[in-house]
Amino acid sequence: MAGKSYRPILDGHHQLFILIITLAMVLLTVIYVITTTSRKTLSPPAAYMYHRTWGKTAVKTSAILTSGLPSNRINITVANISSFRKREQNRLLEMARRNHCKPRTHVVVRKVHKCGSTTVSNIFVRFAFLNNLTVAGKRDVFGPSLDKPKFDMILHHVKYSDSHFLAVMHEDTYFIGLLREPISQFRSAFSYYKKRTDPVLTYKTGNHMLEYVQDYPKFINEWKRKVGSSMLPGLRRNNMAQFLGGFRESDSDNEREIIKYIDFLDRRYDFVILIEHLDECLVFLKRALCWDLKDILYTNRMVYRPIDPTETNDKQLEKLLSNFTNVNRRLYSHFSDRLSKIINDQGVDFQEEVQYFKRINPKVTNYCNKSLQYNLPPLVVKQSKWSNGFSVDYLFCWFLNFAIAQTKLLFPGWETQ
């Protein structure tokens, strides 16, 4: 009829059919939600929200855990990672039995800006997570002093404090420092922080690094006036010396204090990694810590190169940087001599082991680059004079590439459990 809408009349069969379809869709949705929630599948592109606890503060964290990986080929779950951890722990126990030594698990790694510290700490974070070790965070180190628990490792960027470190670490803790050739380290740091400093600091020439080093006090004051805080740690004079043990920048030209400080670091650190000799240093640490070759495998993380070539070929700048990094250079020279002595004391087979590691590590890296994209069979590394045999699969590759970022999200609070 005119003016009235048409409404079809459904008989009982049609109504029953629609009801069945609706119930089926609801049931499938419920099954999907329950399944995905219980498995906590970490295949991209889904983002997961977790709560990570530091002390008493819960921080909500969001991330696409394995961004860029094909979800139809790689399936990473809490269940299979937990199983993988158990296998790795058993491997370490078997390795210790064969080698007649106990792996050292109490370690402090002093992260120093632009010294390969992310690459190195990624190795130790992976080892700590897979072997169920505790890692102290900033609030654990500098929080309330009453009844502090002991931790296995400190691996994060934290202010140096000898008393605070010793309060939360075991007596047999092995201290590891990091250094890099000082001038290249500062160039790298300056280039890395340009996006943060250029909008704040007022330069008069095109060579910002030269101008910064020439007129350092002026830029320090300008930053503090505009930002309200001290200059970024990586851009301070003798930055590595300050990171390693709390060196006072005001003592940069005090010979007596410099000598005392080098002596203090020489006693405090069991070993200092020179990033230009990373493979040699890792092989030594493998021996010193009673770890296996699989435990020191690595990929380069957060590699950053200078963005302004004009700032790297300036003789005037070289001379200024030599003075600007004078304590850093003294430290580097001292620990370079110390490393040479350590290597010489290792015996004639040390270089053979280093060369073996230099062959295996790129092979594993190349495999992992493909394994995280395609479902490849495990890579088998046969037993050798330098290592127990082991296999590498996509799960290990996942940790090799993402240990620092992903374990914090996958197992919230694992560092302080």
pTM, to two decimals: 0.80
- Residue 199 forms part of a structural domain: no
Q: What is the pLDDT of residue 414?
A: 52
Q: Is residue 193 pLDDT above 80, yes or no?
A: yes
Question: CA-CA distance, 209 to 197, in Å (whole number)?
Answer: 11
Higher pLDDT, 56 or 75: 75
- Residue 201 forms part of a structural domain: no
**CATH number of the domain that residue 350 is part of:** 3.40.50
User: For residue 49, which phi and psi values (nearest 5 degrees)?
Assistant: -105, 125
Q: What is the pLDDT of residue 255?
A: 97
The residues near 261 (Cβ < 8 Å, ≥ 6 apart) are: 241, 245, 247, 251, 327
- Residue 405 forms part of a structural domain: no
Using an 8 Å Cβ cutoff, are 106 and 169 in contact? yes
- In terms of average pLDDT, the best of 21-30, 48-57, 70-79 is 21-30
Average pLDDT value over all residues in the chain: 81
Q: What is the pLDDT of residue 355?
A: 96
User: For residue 88, which phi and psi values (nearest 5 degrees)?
Assistant: -65, -40
Distances (CA, A) of 389 to 57, 163, 286, 293: 43, 41, 15, 9
Q: Is residue 393 pLDDT above 60, yes or no?
A: yes
Which residues span the domain enclosing 242? 78-193+232-372
- Structure token pair of residue 155: 């691996």
- Residue 57 forms part of a structural domain: no
- Residue 350 forms part of a structural domain: yes
Q: Is residue 144 pLDDT above 90, yes or no?
A: no
Q: Is residue 71 pLDDT above 50, yes or no?
A: no
- Residue 383 forms part of a structural domain: no
Overall number of domains in the chain: 1
- Residue 18 forms part of a structural domain: no
The angle subtended at Cα 339 by Cα 188 and Cα 236, nearest 5°, is: 30
The angle subtended at Cα 26 by Cα 23 and Cα 32, nearest 5°, is: 140
- Structure token pair of residue 231: 């200059």
- List residues bridging with 54 in a β-sheet: 57
Q: Is residue 69 pLDDT above 50, yes or no?
A: no
- Residue 390 forms part of a structural domain: no
Q: Please choose, from the candidates 152, 84, 186, 11, the residue with its C-alpha nearest in 3D space to the C-alpha of residue 406.
A: 84
What percentage of the chain carries pLDDT values higher than 70?
A: 77
Q: What is the pLDDT of residue 308?
A: 55
Q: What is the pLDDT of residue 273?
A: 97
Q: What is the mean pLDDT of residues 394-404?
A: 79
